A and B are shown apart, each in its own frame.
Chain A
Amino acid sequence: MGEAEITITSRGPVSFTFSELWKNRELLYFLAWRDVKVKYKQTYLGVLWVILQPLLLMAIFYIIFFRTLNIAVGMSYPVYASGGLILWGLLSSGINNSSESMLGSAQMIRKIYFPRILIPMASVLTALLDFFIAFLVFIVLLFIFRQPVSWHILYCFPLAVTLTTISSLGLGALLAALNVKYRDFRYLLPFGMQLIFFSSQIVYSLHALQKDWIKLLLFCNPLNGALELFSYPLRNEQMNVAGILISSGMAILFLLAGLLYFKRTEVYFADVI
């Protein structure tokens, strides 16, 4: 074994180098594996909940919005809404899990060294696993509703998922670090999540909006860009490229802000958590 030399100074950890993360990739896997295992222990339905949760939500919105309000989204409403809801699920459970994750792992943080960023990363990874199971259900729905699909699905879906994951990790890491220092964010978070939900074109379509500047403003919510990409191969409407670019820019901004703030504050996590 090579003579690994570590220098500890006031500058803090070097956990953000890629090699440090790569060295600890197994721990990331085990942390995510633990979250998945623990999540459905002592539930009767077990992993079925992954499928049931978006289905139930979708049923509610189907009854309320489609049956009573008749919202036009340019395609089959149940398919549109369920696609939106599973992407929303990825974003929201990623952010919710990671913002609570640091406090949940306080004991580990106080007692042992590992790159702290692995904790929110594991939370997002867990959300991603849930998403893929729900996504399989969504594929089945496409067949049931005889949804026509264009070849653009091949790049649009992966891009949409990437965009959502990046936003989820960025905001998740930011909130995880903020929560260590200021517990106030625990109570602010539910309102923030509602703001994201209602400003996203999950159960309605931004295409119905008249004013362009409002549309572009709403695309500052990165989920709107992801949803735009997600629905493009499914419906016969023009893609809002400017909106997607704004959303992508915001997602990258969130990621950088989240990681930088996390890195700046992780030095004193063990002292204040």
Chain B
Amino acid sequence: MKPRIEINHLGKKYRIKKAAPYLSLRDTISDSIRSVFIKEANHTKDFWALQDINIKVEAGERIGIIGRNGAGKSTLLKILSRVTWPTTGEVIIRGRLSSLLEVGTGFHPELSGRENIYLNGSILGLKRKEIERQFDAIVDFSGVETFLETPLKHYSSGMQLRLAFAVAAHLEPEILIIDEVLAVGDLEFQKKCIGKMEEVSKQQGRTILFVSHNLNYISALCNKAVLLQDGKLAETGTTHEIVSSYISQITNRTAQYIYAETDRPGNDTVRLDSLKIIDSLFNARSNFKVTEKIGIEMKYEVFDHGRILWLGHNIHNQTGAHVFDTHSVNSSYYNQPHTLGKYTSVVWIPANLLNTGSYYISSAIFNHREKIIHFHEKDALLFNVHEAVDEVTAKGMNSEDIPGIIRPLLNWSINKV
């Protein structure tokens, strides 16, 4: 079977103008008159939003598109959705394609919920018969049945969103393109959406292209990912690899960071000197096996005599999930004031606790009782945990990754009774 989507040497050039994004007749006339008399350099600048992109998407693949703002993600989706057209290259799409660059496209506030289901469904490419067949399921999923005859303008924004997603979720394309649609709405509904999308993609075997800033969703939904960087294809691989590589791209500090004398976070009480991820030999390192313990070292200087200072780190994983916090509750300085001078703190994350993946660390010194945060350095460091081959781990003889935020190696006892 041929790939569902074939992207060959795709490029998109935008011409950036200094003036307004749309042209006015006056500009065109005055420019052309001027150019008759004066040969001057163009006021426009070429900008390649995408350059030489090559991707093949096989049937049933779920691909996440990752990249910073301006990396070209949205432009790529727009071209695939046939909203805008490339400058070079081509895309071949095999199969029925629906794209959701936004939920609720074409919703009209004056029309009722029922009317908007038909309108929106039709705009998204559903036939009237398909809408009629799916109507009850859509209403059921959205949970707005009591307001079906009410004009949409009287709906709360949450209800509008639920209705919009419900229509979109009942499209039945072979290829589905989704952009950030889950960025809005309450948490419970987001979960429902993700659940629905997992069902659609995994059980029904759809081909999916998904762009989101939420790496959590990308990880939950996609089995492959591509990383875009400045309009170019930087990397292709499993979601896991690409997400890690993206995180190391956004946090370019990895194993250690020593602050410049004039740039130390903090205040007149305390200032941060350095942060370091260390191994058991106290060497700075950013890659660890799951069987190794991982240390976080923080150096700081105290300027105010007699203050109680608490230290803490937050650990987040690559999907943005908050793994845990640790505070200096069992150090001798928890109840004892610091005196003037320099300090070093170390805390160890035990071996065989974290799952494989990337983690980033935020560090703070604070006093909760005084409600003071002296500094809070967010996502200051990054480290990776990878598989340990030929060692005893929680994975055992499993060949696949074990799901879960953490992966502790726990003691089991099994007795025959």
Contact = CB atoms under 8 A, between A and B. Distances in A.
- Do A and B actually bind? yes
Interface in B93-120: 93-97, 99, 101-102, 105-106, 108, 110-111, 115, 118-119
B79 A8 contact: yes
A212 interface: no
B56 to A, nearest CB: 15
A4 B85 CA distance: 19
A42 B110 contact: yes
B95 to A, nearest CB: 7
B108 A108 contact: no
B123 A108 contact: yes
B91 A5 contact: no
Interface string B79-96: 111111111111111111
Given A26-B128, A271-B84, A6 B93 contact: yes
Nearest to B6: A7
Given A34-B111, A34-B119, A26 B85 contact: no
Interface string A9-22: 11111000000000
Contacts of A113: 81-83, 99
A112 interface: yes
Interface stretch (A71-79, A145-153, A178-186, A225-233): A178-186
B74 to A, nearest CB: 10
Contacts of B91: 7-9
Given A37-B111, A273-B22, A6 B92 contact: yes
A114 B78 CA distance: 13
Contacts, number: 120
Contacts of B236: none
B21 A272 contact: yes
A111 B101 contact: yes
A26 B125 CA distance: 9
A225 B25 CA distance: 32
B26 interface: yes
A270 interface: yes
Contacts of A41: 110-111, 151
B124 interface: yes
A4 B96 contact: yes
B28 interface: yes
A8 to B, nearest CB: 4
B413 interface: no
Contacts of A181: 22-23
B22 to A, nearest CB: 5
A132 interface: no
B192 interface: no
Nearest to B21: A272
B122 interface: yes
A213 B83 CA distance: 48
A107 interface: yes
B14 interface: yes
B98 to A, nearest CB: 9
Interface residues of B, number: 47
B111 A108 contact: no
Interface in A226-273: 267-268, 270-273
B110 A112 contact: no
Contacts of A183: 22, 24
A142 to B, nearest CB: 36
A112 B173 CA distance: 15
A38 B22 contact: no
B68 interface: no
Given A112-B81, A113-B83, A184-B24, A26 B122 contact: yes
A13 B119 CA distance: 23
A108 B105 contact: yes
A7 B119 contact: no
A38 B82 contact: no
Interface string B118-142: 1100111101100000000000000
Interface in A52-72: none
Most A-side CB within 10 Å, residue of B87, B89, B106, B115: B106
B22 A184 contact: no
Interface in B221-260: none
Contacts of A6: 82, 92-94, 97
A30 interface: yes
Given A113-B99, A272-B22, A26 B83 contact: no
Contact of A270 (B78, B90, B119): B78
A112 B99 contact: yes
Contact of B90 (A3, A9, A38, A184): A9
Contact of A112 (B23, B83, B118): B83
A14 to B, nearest CB: 10
A216 interface: no
B106 A108 contact: yes
Contact of B105 (A1, A12, A111, A270): A111
A30 B126 CA distance: 11
Given A181-B22, A182-B23, A270-B84, A7 B92 contact: yes
Given A3-B94, A112-B105, 16 more contacts: A6-B94, A8-B82, A8-B91, A10-B85, A30-B122, A33-B119, A34-B119, A105-B106, A107-B106, A110-B83, A111-B101, A111-B105, A112-B83, A112-B101, A268-B84, A273-B22
Interface of B: 14, 21-26, 28, 78-97, 99, 101-102, 105-106, 108, 110-111, 115, 118-119, 122-125, 127-128, 151, 174
12 contacts: A4-B94, A4-B96, A8-B91, A10-B85, A26-B128, A30-B119, A42-B110, A108-B105, A109-B83, A180-B22, A182-B22, A270-B78
Q: Which 8 pairs show the lowest CB-CB distances between chains A and B?
A: A113-B82, A8-B91, A30-B122, A184-B25, A6-B93, A41-B110, A111-B101, A182-B25
